[in-house]
Structures are given as structure tokens and as C-alpha cells.
Chains A and B, each alone.
Chain A
Amino acid sequence: MSAMRERFARTASALVEADPRAAVVLSDISLDYFERAMQAHPDRVVNVGIMEQTAIGVAAGMAMEGFHPIVHTLAPFVAERPFEQLKVDFGYQGLGGTFVSAGASYDYATSGCTHHAPGDVQAMLAIPGMRVLVPGHADEVERLLRGTFGDGVPTYLRTTIAENAASFPIEAGRLHIVRRGTHTTVVAVGPMLSRTLEALGGADVTVLYATTITPFDSETVRSAVADDGTVLVVEPYYAGTTALAMRPALEDRAVRVASVGVPRRFLHQYGQPEEHDAALGLDVAGLRRRLTVLLA
């Protein structure tokens, strides 16, 4: 169990205790963490079983009645399988809730491609009004979940095994400026920050830390990126995803954007996530190689 997932479960359980509007809909995942909450609040904390379309639909019904539902299961089964329920039941209907995934990209490397989800964030970007949060540390999971709870916005919250060495005092909707440099800006997304900083060494670049992908923080990125500058995005999902959300903020500038992320192909290898990172050039050594070329 990842630190982020555990922190999510603890935070969600605490919200259920503290706020009568909080509801949790589970789909047979992370049940151990919610056992007490399910017993104490059987009408607000339910395990519907392995039925993800209905999990989202039930959550929407609760949202229609004023609850803030939190739905949780593995990434492919919350972001992809019930995509239309997220689009229609929450997006179109204008309802708020939090959809918390575990097992990002190839976290479940041994399980194969059915359990990979490097397309989750891009799928969520296709739903107008869906907020997408990609924390890089367990502390940030708690901060983002609490900070957005009950605000009426449908929100996708992506948890993963890999964590940054430390957390930052981030808030939803804002980029965090890690350091200022000249000309080139590096945007490191969620759990890619620590390895990106290590790969960059002392390079004279601005580093922005992104944990909210939509709505993208236009103001900060515009203040950081030069009119004819370069933006290098390092992202933990399909390469080019973040640029879709960021590009409108820079559309009046002759900015070059390059993306380093997961390649768009099915990964038929098993093993450990770290082995995939190395093979795909997403570990420190691989990022150093690629960023050196892109910064040249």
C-alpha cells in the first residue's frame, strides 16, 4: 500500500467523521482502511462491489442530494471504465465529488497493461470542468483533498507509489515556484519533481512544480516563461498531456514546449515500476540524458 493511498484513506475517513456531507463509495478496493467508517456510517460509506459504472452513478445520486462523494478504486477502473458516467453524471450535470485513483501509470507493473493507466489524466482533460490533481507526496494528498472538499467541483485525484523526497506547501490551482533561473522553464509534475531536480543538478533554469493540471495556473506560468522561451515538461503519464492544459496560457507567445513522459504504446514487460522508469528514460539517469539534450 503506497503512502499516498494510505494517507488518502485516513483523510477520507476523518472527513466522514467530521462532516455529515462526506460520503465514500468504494469498489472493492482499500476496504481494510474503511472498515470502521463503513460500520459507523453504513449509509454514507458503502462498498458497492466491482461495478465501477454504478459506483460513479451512485456517487452522482448522492451528490444530487447534497453530499460530497469520494469514489475510490484503481486508476483504469475509475478514470477509464466509467468515463461516460464521469462525463455525464458529474461533468454535464454540474455536480461535485472527488475521484481518487490508486495505481498510476505502471505502478502495477507485474499486472500488465490491463492495470496500467498512463492515459488517465488525458482522459480527464476531455471532461470540461474536471479538476485534475497530481500530488507528489502523501502530505500533498491530504492537503489537496481537504482543500477542495465540498467546493462543488468534480475532481480527479491521482495517487501513486513514487513520492518526492519532501512535500511542498502547495494549494489547488497554483503552480509552486521551486527556483528561478533564466530563459528555460522546467515544469515537473507531481512525483517527477525529486528526480527532475536531481537530474537538473545546478542548471540555470526555472523549476515549477505542478500538482494541479486543470485548471492550469496561467498566471504563474506566464510570469515564469519568457516570450521566446522554452518549457520542458516532465510528467508521470503520457508525454504531451500537461501541454494540452498548459498551452492555452501561452498561446500568444513563441514558446517551444517539449514533453518528457510515458511513451504512447502498450508496455508488455512486467517487473517493477523502477525497471520501467529506467527502460523509458524516466529515472534520474534517463532524465539527465534527455534534459541535457533538450537544454542544449
Chain B
Amino acid sequence: MALAIGDEKHDESSTSTLDAIWVLYDRVLRVDPANPYWRKRDRFILSKGHGPAAFYAVLADRGFFPIEELRSFLGYDSRLGSHPDRSLVPGVEASTGSLGHGLPMAVGVALALRAKGLTEQRAVVLCGDAELNEGSNWEAIMLAPHLRLGNLTLLVIDNHSSAIPMSPWNRRLEAFGWHAELVNGRDHDELERALSLRERAVPTAVVADIPGGEW
């Protein structure tokens, strides 16, 4: 990540997501860097598209593209912009940056996986807590339990940046019919346990609390 940012301080928008994305790609998601569009992969959408340095760093470490390429971050000819573009970066499922788009798309992906009979595969989408201010998310939060999307996981990185204080998010999501877990967003074992959970008939939300409110 430091390669991408160009210094040792890291970009604040990425530090809050780094642990969760690392755990996902190291311990949870079934992906094949040599075949990014493998039919039987799990699908991950970074809905909070800003601050993608952590995402790029993890993808590069896993082998989706050369680590050296991180140095090109934000350059004119770089594939790595400050919001990820699915047409440029192997392993990026969705082009995001405009907030409130990833979760509705993940609902569609989860529905499509079920329609295709890919019952083992999952859709995981990462949203920021401030991103959940966007109304489109609440449409999708209402819809996913109605569609009984047990193959959908919403990972909320709660770095307490929402203009309207809404923590604890897990209570709010439970009220909409989700199975919700609250974990320490820096604790890899807790993240792995919660992100590996899969309910049969309801979607799962994992609220990763980031103490100190880094964003």
C-alpha cells in the first residue's frame, strides 16, 4: 500500500479497510488470480470505491497484477485510479466511486448466482458507514432479506465517519431482517469468523468497528 501511496503514512481512506480486505482475500474468498473471471469464484465489490489503495495492494499481493504496478497509482496511463475501474483492473468486479451503487449491484449478483445454480458461491460487498447515508443502500437493505439472499454478505466498515451518528449499525440491520455481527475491524480472527458465516435464508451483515475513527 505504501508503494501506491508513495510514503509510509498510508492513505487514511484505505487504512480502515485494509484488515478486512486482507482477511477476505487471505482466508475467506475463493478466487483465482490466474483466472479472475473463474465462474466458480466468490464475488467481491468494493462499494466504498474511494481510497482503494488497500484493495489494490491486496489484489497485487494475491497476484492479480504485478506488485510493481502499484507505483503507477493515479498516473495518466495507470490502471489504478482513485476509484477502481472494472474494465482496467483484473479482479475488480465493479467500477465504483459514486456511493450507494455497490450494494444494489451485489443484490443483483447474489440473485444471479442463485438463478445460475451456483449455490456455493457468495457475493460480498464492502460499504463505509458514511456511505450508508445514501438512500439507495436502504432500498437494497430492505430488498435482500425479502429475496432471502443467504449468499450475500454486507461488510460495513464503521470508522464513525457518518454525519449522522448511527452506530451500532448491527442493530439497525437486524431490524431490517439481516443476520448481523459486530466485530473489531482490526482483529483478523474475529473478521474471519464473521465473514465466513453464512445463514441459509437471510443475508449477513458484518459490522467492522474501527476504533479511533480513521477513515
Contact = CB atoms under 8 A, between A and B. Distances in A.
B116 A61 contact: no
A268 B104 CA distance: 35
Nearest to A45: B115
A61 B108 contact: yes
B143 A85 contact: no
Nearest to B97: A88
A116 interface: no
Contacts of A69: 108
Interface stretch (B134-142, B154-162, B163-171, B198-206): B134-142
Contacts of A92: 95
B105 A61 contact: yes
Report whether over half of chain B's contact residues are helix, strand or loop; otherwise say mixed: helix
Contact of B104 (A49, A53, A94): A53
Given A53-B136, A57-B140, A92-B95, A46 B147 contact: yes
Interface in A55-92: 56-67, 69, 84-85, 88-89, 92
Contact of A89 (B101, B142, B146): B101
A85 B101 contact: yes
A53 B102 CA distance: 11
Interface in B123-157: 123, 135-136, 139-140, 142-143, 146-147
B34 interface: no
B109 A54 contact: no
B112 interface: yes
Contact of B111 (A49, A62, A89, A94): A62
Interface in B54-96: 86-87, 93-95
Contacts of A195: none
A57 B104 contact: yes
A296 to B, nearest CB: 50
Given A64-B93, A84-B98, A59 B108 contact: yes
Nearest to A51: B139
A252 interface: no
A88 B100 CA distance: 11
A101 to B, nearest CB: 19
B111 to A, nearest CB: 6
A61 B47 CA distance: 13
Contacts of B111: 43, 46, 58, 61-62
A58 B104 contact: yes
Contacts of B104: 53-54, 56-58, 60-61, 85
B52 to A, nearest CB: 16
Interface in A1-54: 23, 41, 43-44, 46, 48-49, 51, 53-54
A45 to B, nearest CB: 10
A57 B101 contact: yes
A65 B116 CA distance: 9
A110 interface: no
Contact of A65 (B113, B140, B143): B113
Contacts of B109: 61-62, 64-65
Contacts of B107: 54, 57-58, 61
Contacts of B95: 88, 92-93
Nearest to A87: B98
A51 B105 contact: no
Given A43-B111, A57-B108, A61-B111, 12 more contacts: A58-B104, A58-B105, A61-B104, A61-B106, A62-B109, A62-B111, A65-B116, A85-B104, A88-B101, A89-B101, A93-B95, A94-B87
